[in-house]
Structure 1
Amino acid sequence: DAGARDVRLISRDLPAPSPLAAEILSARPYTFLDDAPLEERRTQAVLNRRWTDPQSTDDLGALDAEAIQAVRDEAWPAPTGIDEMHEALMSLACITDAEAQANPHWCDWLNALADSGRASRLQINTEQSLWLALERLTCVQAIYPHATLLPPLEALPGFDEAWEPDAAVLEVIRARLSAFAPLPLQAIAEPLGLPAARVTQALADLEREGYVLRGRFSPGATQEEWCERHLLARIHRYTVKRLRREIEPGALQ
């Protein structure tokens, strides 16, 4: 009631300010008739675009597809030999057959590591198997206690501590998400042959730690996606750089 000077404020948690609120929060340089530099005008144009362009609220979190692909390529290991293949196997916790076959020389290097006793292949069901480094043996076996290990190996001293199954799932998903761009739940669970509910619980734990973030990050995504926060920050930086390039002033002719 304006006449009675009675104002009621209602708080709402939103993904971004409304266009009106944005104008107030980041008043354009010419609002106060100052001589703001060109860089400031460009920065405001990039920021404002994020909430004026989307067709719906679902689009507010969408990032550039090229930026996502660039970070995906950068995050995925690119070993050049057997020793680097072993390091990649350690960092990912485990590698599926499909992932090995999709990368040149990986199958040969993994077989060489198995022959030297540094890696093995865990048959988790009739159709799926996972490659793992010897140092990850007890962790991965805690998730699949009845899986067959070929060739059979014994854990190394210092790497033979017992793992709780839930802690092992958390560790494996943490390791694998460090090498992927945004992924939906199904794409995280299926390669590991794990139930969606079990993976959802692990992702929720990682979210509470601040390790992963959820949202619809890929353009056109219809499912909720999960992404490691440092990779997501890099994708966001690349997206902003692209937006800045689009509004960069042309050379004077």
Structure 2
Amino acid sequence: MDDSVIYPQDLQYWRTLPAYTGLSKPPQADAATQTSPRHDGARTPPTGDVPDTWPATKPAPTVKRPPTLEVLNDGVEARFSIGEDVFVTVGCFKGMPLVNVRRFYRPCPGKDVWKPGKQGLALAPEQWLALKRNMSSVSSVLLACGFSAKHTSYNGNGSTFLPSRFDLGNQRYAVVELFRGEAVVSLREFFRPKADQGKLLPSKKGLNLSTQQWDALEEQADKIDAVLKTVLEQKSLTSKVLKK
């Protein structure tokens, strides 16, 4: 008889040994500890390094954002969201009515407190009205600028699009241009350098609006007008005004 071959009668003999007696199915690993069971069928007690139950994980805190429209300062100021932490605030600053387009930030990430940042431009009522009058033209040029940006990325050549500037008054402009390969509307204050009064250069005061932010601003224009009219009349904002 060959010793390297396991014969059926040997298997029958091994199954009668104490290690296999009483087992109706092959031993399974313990689901909690992922360890093999003992031969007598008893569960291996957990060690000090492996707890019986793992502590429940805490859900990640949700970041609160301001609502799309928020009434502030006893109903004489309203704030409109146009996306990506950029807001249009309509109200009075030092007694002057303004339409302030500005990027906000949260100084304390754990608190729902928002403050205006440095990027932005405050428009007087007549400057806002000039911007609104030009909105249709700005949108048309912005569409062409976006097409130029996509066309440039496809053929690899430089863009031939030239920035288009819309005068809002008092050296403030809405400029449609390409910025880092994207079409934007730049609301910006310009200045004339002392060395060359013939030049008009952009200053750091202002911000760039993406196509989506500009569309949101244009969509909210009528409501901004209604709030501005109420502020000029020194009245409190009502739900009727905000629904216009």
Q: Same fold (TM over 0.5)?
A: no
Which has more radius of gyration?
2
Work out which structure has the larger RCO, using CA pairs closer than 8 Å and 6 or more positions apart in sequence: 1
Give the number of the structure whose residues are more often helix, by fraction: 1
Give the number of the structure whose residues are more often strand, by fraction: 2
